[in-house]
Amino acid sequence: MADTPKRIGVLTSGGDAPGMNAAVRAVARTAINAGYEVIGFMRGYNGLVNSDYMVMNIRTVSDTIHRGGTLLYTARCEEFKTEQGVKKGASVCNDLNISGLVVIGGDGSFRGARDLTQYGIGCIGIPGTIDNDIGASQYSIGFDTAVNTVTEMVDKIRDTSQSHDRCTVVEVMGRRAGHIALHAGLATGATAVLVPEVKFDFERDIVKRIVNAAESGKKHFVIMVAEGVGGCGELAKAIQWRTGIESRASILGYVQRGGSPSARDRTMASRMGHHAVELLVNGQENRVVVYQNGTVTDFDMAQALEMHKPFDMDLYNICLEINS
């Protein structure tokens, strides 16, 4: 009788992020080289609870490192939020003889993985979200590409704003975090950056900065707003009413999740995927792979979910000082 193959599962969950394919590729190839079969679950936890999967090989992940999106697709699964759904997912893992599951996604995806561990399924999380809001990690896959995308688009918006002596209020993604807005705001020279982490005063932080810049000769303006602040349409109207400067709102939307991942996202995803499999091969489970102080390392999953990501106030203050 043939030996039962050793298997590692992998899935992508939640919002897609550029670099997820690079992470899946690294997981698959590292595991195969270590003598494991790799099971790729389709559409996140939906594929897990419905036993929708494919057996992956070296060629399955060929020509994917440069592609945006995720070859395994992704979705949110309401069924998996129930105890019955988690039990069903654990049963599928047991039926397929999966010794460990790698989950690529955000904090919601990690909570699902934590629930699976309570039924004996060893899980490893890899942070994959453009929001860069995973508390345990200084970096998450997709963030660099998203900031680059926003920067490129705002540079184009600036061209038309300059042509019309206009103020443009740009809303970017980030959920309840302002990391994309901060980094893209600094990179594009935004006159003001509004983030959920810092309370703002309309007169002091927007009107005064626009008026002061206008008095020094500036004729066009960009106001960067994180979606956690929201209301960019009303803000544009208020700016025009208060300053007399023609103002428009622009919500960049889902384009921020797309595109070919940057070199940084490809390399970070590859490092994290490799590390995740090494943990499983060495018998370590229920960990989250993170980037801390220049090193790819890992934390206990329960501990990681309790950690809060600090907002970079030093960078925010630099932005206030040099952007006008």
Distance CA 122, CA 244 (A): 60
Coil vs helix vs strand at 308: coil
Amino acid (1-letter code) at residue 129: T
CB of 181 within 8 A of CB of 193? yes
- For 233-248, the DSSP string reads HHHHHHHHHHH---EE
Distance CA 42, CA 12 (A): 8
CB of 143 within 8 A of CB of 19? no
The Cα angle at residue 104 between residues 100 and 106, in degrees rounded to 5 = 125
CA dihedral 286, 291, 292, 295 (to 10 degrees): 100
The one catalytic residue among 16, 131, 144, 265:
131
Reference 116, options 71, 74, 77, 73; nearest CA is: 77
Distance CA 108, CA 231 (A): 25
CB of 177 within 8 A of CB of 210? no
CB of 251 within 8 A of CB of 225? no
DSSP 8-state assignment for residue 128: B
Amino acid (1-letter code) at residue 132: N
Distance CA 75, CA 43 (A): 5
Asked if 155 is an active-site residue, the reply is: no
Burial group, residue 35, by CB count within 10 angstroms (0-12, 13-18, 19+): exposed
What would the two tokens of residue 135 be?
């508390």
How many other CB atoms are found less than 10 A from the CB of residue 147? 26
DSSP 8-state assignment for residue 78: S
Residues labelled catalytic: 131
